[in-house]
Structure 1
Amino acid sequence: MEKLKKQMKQVRPFDIVIIVVLMLASFLPHAVFAYQQVQTEGEGSLVAVVTIDGKEVHEVELNSDTPHELLTFHPSKNQYNIIEIDGERIRVKEDNSPDQIAVRKGWISKPGESAICLPHKLMIEIKTIDGEKDRGQDEMIIPL
């Protein structure tokens, strides 16, 4: 009890204000991302871009007419990734990486989502396109 009283004497009123402000600011990225999701819904069409080592190897439009498809990529001699496309969603179905992080990510279908397999340098990104202009993460504008 004595120890608690000593610690409470060290806390100043302005310390509490700083802690509250920092806690509220920690939710800011979530609010910005949610705002961006609402703005991109209904605009253009969704495209899944598969890149290996920074080079685009496959691009597919995701809509209800997209057929079910399995694609196999071999980033190097002893590595493989099986990508499954099913209409408006895509996932890494299977790979031989040690941690299986991309496989455990599961289906992705919203703009800005990605599945990444670091040992194989494979990345799947969901972007929106509007006619000729690509409106992916690179061009995100955050209103202030």
Structure 2
Amino acid sequence: MSTKPIAFKDIINVGDWFVIVLLVIASFSPLMIFHYTYAQSPTDQLVAYVSIDGDVVDEFILSEDTPHQLITYYPKDGQYNIIEVDGTRIRVKEDNSPDQVAVKTGWITRPGQTSICLPHRLMIEIRGKSSEEAPTDIDAY
């Protein structure tokens, strides 16, 4: 009694290959969707919003023409955050929070990115804003 080894082509047929290729293509679809969703058109400008306790206290338009700035915020007594703006990027350069999470986040440059200092309740968020659209006010009740 001799046993013949099973060939790879006998295990996987054409339908299996079709499913494998389809799954590989589908696995890259989130990457393509997010790329096109967050792609920035040339007319968009980047705006960084600095908020403390949920209230926007400052905003910066991020462009090549934006000058280098260091701004210090004092959320509460004994707390400080030094924000650095440099052209198209922004970061928390220094703060006196225990974990330094916002400092370790480093530079943020793209819409949707945030840098958050939880102990001081300070958040920097970058949003894209079309140069043609007017600012909108939203009231929630």
TM over 0.5: yes
Shift of 1:133: 3.9
Higher-Rg member (1/2): 2
Amino acid at match of 2:133: E
1:120 aligns to what? 120
Q: Any conservation in 2 of the 1:43–1:128 contact (CA below 8 Å)?
A: no
1:65-98 CA-to-partner distances (Å, cap 9, x unmatched) read: 1000000000000110000000110000000111
Shift of 1:34: 2.3
C-alpha separation in 2, matches of 1:71 and 1:123: 14
1:33 aligns to what? 34
Q: Any conservation in 2 of the 1:66–1:86 contact (CA below 8 Å)?
A: yes
2:102 aligns to what? 102
Amino acid at match of 2:106: G
Shift of 1:42: 2.0
Report the CA distance shift for 1:28/1:80 in structure 2 as closer, same or farther (over 3 A): farther
Amino acid at match of 1:88: T
Query: SS state of the match for residue 112, structure 2?
Result: coil
1:16-68 CA-to-partner distances (Å, cap 9, x unmatched) read: xxxxx8xx77x776554322222x24232111100000101100100011000
Report the CA distance shift for 1:119/1:36 in structure 2 as closer, same or farther (over 3 A): same
C-alpha separation in 2, matches of 1:80 and 1:29: 39
Q: Any conservation in 2 of the 1:47–1:127 contact (CA below 8 Å)?
A: yes
Q: Which runs of 5+ in 1 are unaligned?
A: 1-20, 136-144
Cα RMSD between the aligned structures? 2.2
1:84-124 CA-to-partner distances (Å, cap 9, x unmatched) read: 00011000000011111110010011111110111111000
Q: Which runs of 5+ in 2 are unaligned?
A: 1-22, 137-141
C-alpha separation in 2, matches of 1:106 and 1:78: 23
Query: SS state of the match for residue 82, structure 2?
Result: strand
More helix by share: 1
* Paired positions, count: 112
